[in-house]
Amino acid sequence: MQIQRTTEIELLNKLLKNNPIVAILGPRQCGKTTLSRQFSSQWPLEVTIFDLENPRDIQRLQEPLLALENIEGLIIIDEIQRSPDLFPVLRVLSDRYKKTKYLILGSASRDLIRQSSESLAGRISYVEIGGFSLQLLGASKAEKLWIRGTFPRSFLASNEAASYQWRQDFIATFLERDIPQLGINIPAKSLGRFWKMLAHYHGQIFNASEIGKSLGISDHTAQRYLDLLSGTFMVRQLRPWYYNTKKRIIKRPKVYFRDSGILHALFALEGKKDVLLHPKLGASWEGFALEEAIKTAHLKEDEAFFWGVHAAAEIDLVFQKKGELYGIEVKYAQAPNLTQSMRSALKELSLKHLWIIYPGKESYPLDRNVTAIPLEDLNKIKVA
């Protein structure tokens, strides 16, 4: 089963008109290769594909300048993080051959693939994708997407047991193969223990000292492990919103697992019944809803924040569009109310609008600038 990613295809067409190189970034197995094939099927000129996990293609690119300089049309290079030495070559080729376009796919952030930002500045544009989304699948798939997660093979598995097994295998492969291939020398068991411990901090402020003490590692090592999981799209560090105030605002990031299915697998929750009985049920749903809201609002990593004042008030998500500040709060409750914390945020931040996402069925106003909306109505998050 293939689901056409029409929105992403339109974006790729737009970006490749203005840039010689476009990078699709996202976690392994999230659908980057499928998207590139869907896109290339409608490309009007010749398409050449290199997969850097294929020994034959690796051999073909031993002399990359010779291999690529006579190819015209669209060149797709998959798993680019495995050969970062290609970036200087792409810079030369993109300047020399203006009609050739390059679509590169990577399973790590641009910070982990540093050469791209250094070598291709002014020539490259980035598109970050995750797995499936509510926008793509529709509201009827919300519960299944939450329980199994957004990775296509997990979501499309024949049953819950097969989905759970795929996620367990994904975690093992990520730790034992994917991380070493990035050139990062961290014992798989150490990072695995940190990852499982981090699951208990899902939706909470990250405390490097506390988690480091529990695992017998330094604060610096704990932060390094977190940055690595962020850079490979496993977790999201939601940064605090800074502004000029005398109040004691929270300065450490909040941590969310980007994929609820991976979170459930790390908790050893095999299916829906296990998830519904777990103490982290509310936090799991809220993290899933928040991630879907970020996708719906088309927020980049550096555009999404949270707001919090010590021992006072918090708002789950704050973002700026067209010079106005907006907020999103997520509540795993049947009938959310306008709380004092929300009132404080509206006044302190002068929010243009605040949406409260909850697992109900009806949208209704709570105040002039506050609306409660069900998860299935995320398309109502619109900015002026």
pLDDT by residue (tens digit) across 366-379? 999 999 999 999 98
pLDDT of 364? 94
Distance CA 344, CA 316 (A): 13
pLDDT tens digit sequence for 90-100: 999 998 888 89
pLDDT in tens, 106-116: 998 877 776 66
* β-pairing verdict for 305-308 and 314-321: antiparallel
Q: 């290199």: which residue's tokens?
A: 50
Dig out the tokens for 102 from the structure. Answer: 């390059």
Interval 150-173 mean pLDDT = 97
Q: What is the pLDDT of residues 312-354, one digit of tens each?
A: 688 999 999 989 999 999 999 998 999 998 998 899 899 999 9
Mean of pLDDT values over 165-173: 98
Amino acid 383: pLDDT? 78
Rounded alpha-carbon distances, angstroms, from residue 346 to 45, 61, 99, 318, 352:
52, 55, 50, 11, 8
Mean pLDDT of 360-371: 93
Q: How is residue 301 written in tokens? A: 């990593």
- Tell me what pLDDT residue 115 has: 65
Q: What is the pLDDT of residue 83?
A: 86
* Most confident among 181-195, 238-252, 309-323 (mean pLDDT): 181-195
Q: What are the residue ranges of helices labelled H in the chain?
A: 6-18, 32-41, 55-60, 64-68, 86-96, 114-119, 134-137, 142-148, 152-155, 160-173, 179-181, 188-199, 208-215, 219-231, 260-266, 272-276, 281-296, 340-349
Where are the CATH 3.40.50.300 domain residues in the chain? 6-128
Residue 66 pLDDT level (bands cut at 50, 70, 90): very high
User: How far, CA to CA in Å, does 13 sit from each of 10, 42, 101, 143, 306?
Assistant: 5, 10, 11, 32, 33
- Relative to beta strand 204-205, strand 353-358 is unpaired
pLDDT at 117: 65
Can you name the CATH fold of 6-128? Rossmann fold (3.40.50)
User: Can you give the pLDDT at residue 327?
Assistant: 96
pLDDT(246) > 70: no
Q: Express each pLDDT in 200-217 by its tens digit.
A: 999 999 999 999 999 999
Checking if the pLDDT of 279 tops 90, the result is yes
